[in-house]
Amino acid sequence: MNMKKVLLILGVLLATATMLFSAGQADKAVETGPSKVSMYANITAIEPILERYKAESGVEVEYTRLSTARYVSTILTEVEAKKLVADVVQGPLPVLEILREYGVLSNYKAKAMEGYPDWAKKDGIHLFGIEYVGLIYNTDLVSAAEAPKSYMDLTDPKWKGHIVMPDPGAHATTITWLVGLRENVFKSDAEWYRFLEGLAKNEPMLVASFSPTANPLASGEKKIGVSMPKYIVTKAPAPLDYAKISPMLGSPRAIAITKDAPHRKDAEAFLEFWLGKSAASQLANDVGEYVLAPGVYPPIPGIAETEVIPIRELSDEEIQKWGTEFGKIFALK
């Protein structure tokens, strides 16, 4: 029996593979300069901003994208194994608050927060934007005059079969948004329920999250949807616009520095840059984000006049309770 030989062959194969791989990685090694900042983020399409930062400061920002669903569990796993390499973490506010509870965050206060609203300044956590949600419609199929003037207009039977939205029985941000409507828009539970039931009666197509709402809207498969106004920017020239309803609601986007950041100084510098006007403008202009930096708005007509307010964060128990409730209301069967 010559298992050794087999293992040897496998070993040689592995070695060859490694060589192949390191050849492919050679250019990457050159890229990696001495100073870099590791950023874990759930915000998307921010590469141009990071590139500009590198060009300006020489510091490379290594961007690890973590979706919200994977965020807490990944970071806590790494913390537990003492392998967290993140200097800067960016995510929804409730997520960062959990990380703070676990003692992952430092309480560094960025100077660039001057001029930001007071509610955006939280012990070590900096709110820099709102992941705003609105009613987005296809301008080829719906004229501005036909577009809803209020949230309740969405219950109009003319929209039956023409709506797309994330599943309110499953998608946390959408659940929060619906509860936010009750607290900020509708006057009574009865009115709110009328809205929910009316919306359900219009048989919206339910998708997994916001990102798959964009295609059906752009292609005209659906006329209107509960979606994100930023797609008007990122999907341009797709025929998209948003219903001008005030207020628009959204979850706050937050950013912080980790307690044991391996590149603390660079991380602080980067955070100041991120919260500063130029980065915020780029975020608004290129990605269509709604930022809190004073006077900066995304290039969507009318958005500066629209009130965009942060939703109260729900506890997990609340999310699950309402998720189940909405699941029943929106159940088709």
Residues 295-324 that bind another protein (CB under 8 A): 313, 316, 319-320, 323
Asked if 12 interacts with another protein (CB under 8 A), we say no
Which residue's CB is nearer to another protein, number 54 or number 277? Answer: 54
3-state secondary structure labels for all residues of 2-49: CHHHHHHHHHHHHHHHHHHHHHHHHHHHHHCCCCEEEEEECCCCCHHH
> At 198, which amino acid appears?
G
The site for another protein, by CB under 8 A, has a size of 81
Q: How many CA atoms lie within 13 A of 154 on its CB side?
A: 27
Contact between 34 and another protein by CB under 8 A: the answer reads no
Candidates 66-74, 122-130, 182-190, 270-278: pick the segment binding another protein (CB under 8 A).
66-74
Taking CB under 8 A as the rule, does residue 5 contact another protein?
A: yes
- By the rule CB under 8 A, 35 interacts with another protein: no
- Establish if 185 lies at the interface with another protein (CB under 8 A): no
Phi, psi of 135 (to 5 degrees): -95, 115
Sort residue 242 into left (φ over 0), alpha (ψ -120 to 50) or beta.
beta
In the set 107, 143, 150, 211, which binds another protein (CB under 8 A)? Answer: 211
Q: CA–CA separation, 322 vs 10, rounded Å?
A: 54
Q: Does 1 bind another protein (CB under 8 A)?
A: yes
Q: Strand 240-242 to strand 163-166: parallel, antiparallel, or no bridges (unpaired)? A: unpaired
Report strand pairing: 205-207 vs 163-166.
parallel
Smallest gap from Cβ 159 to another protein, in A, equals: 13
* CB of 238 vs another protein, minimal distance in Å: 4
Query: What part of residues 120-179 is at the interface with another protein (CB under 8 A)?
Result: 161-162, 167, 169-172, 175
Closer residue to another protein (CB): 92 or 148: 92
